[in-house]
Amino acid sequence: MTQTLEKPSASRDAMPLSGPRLPAAAPYVVGVAALAVGVGVGLILGGGVIAMGVLAAVTFIVGLTVWAWALEGRRGGVDRLATSVVWSAFLVALVPLLSLVWTVLSNGLPALSPEFFTYSMRGVIGDEQGGIYHALIGTLLITLGAAVISIPVGVMTAIYIVEYGRTAKLAKAITFLVDVMTGIPSIVAGLFAYALFVLIFGPGIRMGFGGSVALSLLMIPIVVRATEEMLKLVPDELREAAYALGVPKWRTIVKVVLPTSLSGILTGVTLAVARVIGETAPLLIIAGSTDSVNFNLFADRMQTLPVFIYYSYTQPGVPPEFGQERAWGAALVLIAIVMGLNLLARLVGKIFAPKTGR
């Protein structure tokens, strides 16, 4: 041992830190070349756009990897391979999203007009001007009803699980059941709500509030999960600081724990709303479909955007173009609402986040 210490191995004499590197523009060069190969071969052999794209992508990945491996060695090659595969996966994931947004925009934009938002479909035949006013009102009221039911139940369940039931068997059971609830198919939630309201009001019942109950069934587990995670993030030190000041537990939860996690909880709640606002199946069953405006959650059928889209597209009337255009327009509005809610969630998260003041 001592001998090796006195005389280090030969490799320690040199300290090589530099080696051949790919030029910074290498990915672009290979990219252009791969595109040329893909398009060229596609044109010669006669392939579609998708085939050209796949060929170009494969050429790019192989080309860049081989070049880097030859010049920089094994680690450089593997690095380029992994990077290109990750980027390709990202682009593949982006394709359906962009395609969807483009399709909805191009088909739906022509339908949008002030009348589209302010007219219902009552008595609309053929190419007469109809609108989604009744469906907008229905969607907003039913979702609001679902939120009013789910948010207190969900937040309080999460408070029980995190603050009171840390080690209790009941809390574990609730967590498990919430997980199971997450997986309930939405049609089953609709059937449950329908069965419940049939028990109370008799068969054939349709009301918007039933839709709220069905949606809340889907929303509660999301709210519980989001709130639970946020409450767990509040450090125990803050709770202990409050206890040490002689603050009772319930006040600690209301005045310290909830405000600290408020931004996360609000974000979770908004995302849960965004998740259920596009549900179709349960509303088809319990809220039904109508052409008229209905402001009363507790009586009669209520139209909602998803159900409106479904019926406008499957039974567009004669001639079908106008009904289908309205379906696309309503789909665009629905996507805009969901996107707006997501942006709102981010904004709310920023506004209520604890500030550092630096």
Contacts with other proteins by CB under 8 A lie at: 166-167, 235, 237-248, 251-252, 255-256, 259-260, 262, 354-358
Interatomic CA distance for residues 65 and 87, integer angstroms? 14
Q: Please, which residue, 242 or 302, has the CB nearer to other proteins?
A: 242
Quick count: other Cβ atoms within 10 Å of Cβ 288? 22
Quick count: other Cβ atoms within 10 Å of Cβ 329? 25
Q: Please, which residue, 53 or 264, has the CB nearer to other proteins?
A: 264
Q: How far is CA 205 from CA 13, 122, 237, in A?
A: 88, 21, 52
**Is residue 72 within 8 Å of 91, Cβ to Cβ?**
no
Residue 11: phi, psi to the nearest 5?
-65, -20
- HSE-CB for 35 with a 13 A CA cutoff: 6
Residue 124: phi, psi to the nearest 5?
-85, 125
Report, in Å, the least distance between residue 327 CB and other proteins: 46
Q: Please, which residue, 21 or 350, has the CB nearer to other proteins?
A: 350
Report, in Å, the least distance between residue 249 CB and other proteins: 8
Q: Please, which residue, 257 or 333, has the CB nearer to other proteins?
A: 257
Q: Please, which residue, 35 or 262, has the CB nearer to other proteins?
A: 262
Tokens representing 254 are: 């209301």
Q: Tokens 């680690």 identify what position?
A: 75
Report, in Å, the least distance between residue 168 CB and other proteins: 9
Report, in Å, the least distance between residue 115 CB and other proteins: 47
Q: Please, which residue, 164 or 298, has the CB nearer to other proteins?
A: 164
Report, in Å, the least distance between residue 229 CB and other proteins: 18
Q: Please, which residue, 249 or 346, has the CB nearer to other proteins?
A: 249
Q: What angle do CA 218, 222, 225 make, to 5 degrees?
A: 145
Report, in Å, the least distance between residue 351 CB and other proteins: 12
Element (H, E) at 202: none
CA 23 to chain centre: 39
Tokens representing 151 are: 């948010």
Q: How far is CA 114 from CA 52, 92, 118, 302, in A?
A: 43, 37, 6, 22
Q: Please, which residue, 23 or 357, has the CB nearer to other proteins?
A: 357
CA 28 to chain centre: 33
Q: Please, which residue, 137 or 159, has the CB nearer to other proteins?
A: 159
Give the dihedral of Cα atoms 232, 238, 242, 243; nearest 10 deg.
70
Beta strands in 251-331 (DSSP E): none
